[in-house]
Structure 1
Amino acid sequence: MEGTSKVADKNVLKYLIKVLKKKPLNAAKKATKEMDDDEMAFKLKQKEDQKALEALKTKAAGKGPLTGGGIKKSGKKGFGN
């Protein structure tokens, strides 16, 4: 009888591995909530702010770096001149 027990155990293990490898079930979709006027205005303002930020980024990218490139030296060659 021990031989059949080992075969059954192997079959159970194969089944469990097969089940565990399957993709998990998708989470239930959240119900869409209706937005009131305040929420809609807030979302609209966020979109407008994002567009303005993108416009500023493109404008600033064309100007080049803000720094002068390190330590600036004066034109003087010595102390006594």
Structure 2
Amino acid sequence: MNKPYTKQQLALRNGQDRDEIWVAYQGKIYDVGSSRLWRDGKHYEHWAGQDLTEELSDAPHTAKVFDKFEVVGELV
């Protein structure tokens, strides 16, 4: 079982307030800090520390992109 995090706790993992660069998708929280595309907690018009479930439909990629990242928690 993954550690639970609230939206407020996730928001702190934005690459600015803390070193962690995390995003949520469909209830899972992923550490995207290893990706050069998430440097400084920004990825195009998206910011780390947020739930990106609703925004994925606008992306040029599918949810498969999350397969390469470690799940670090669960959004509650």
Give the TM-score normalised by the residue count of structure 2.
0.16
- Structure with the higher fraction of residues in helix conformation: 1
- Structure with the higher fraction of residues in strand conformation: 2
Give the TM-score normalised by the residue count of structure 1.
0.15
Q: Which has the larger radius of gyration?
A: 1
Larger RCO: 1 or 2 (CA < 8 Å, sep 6+):
2
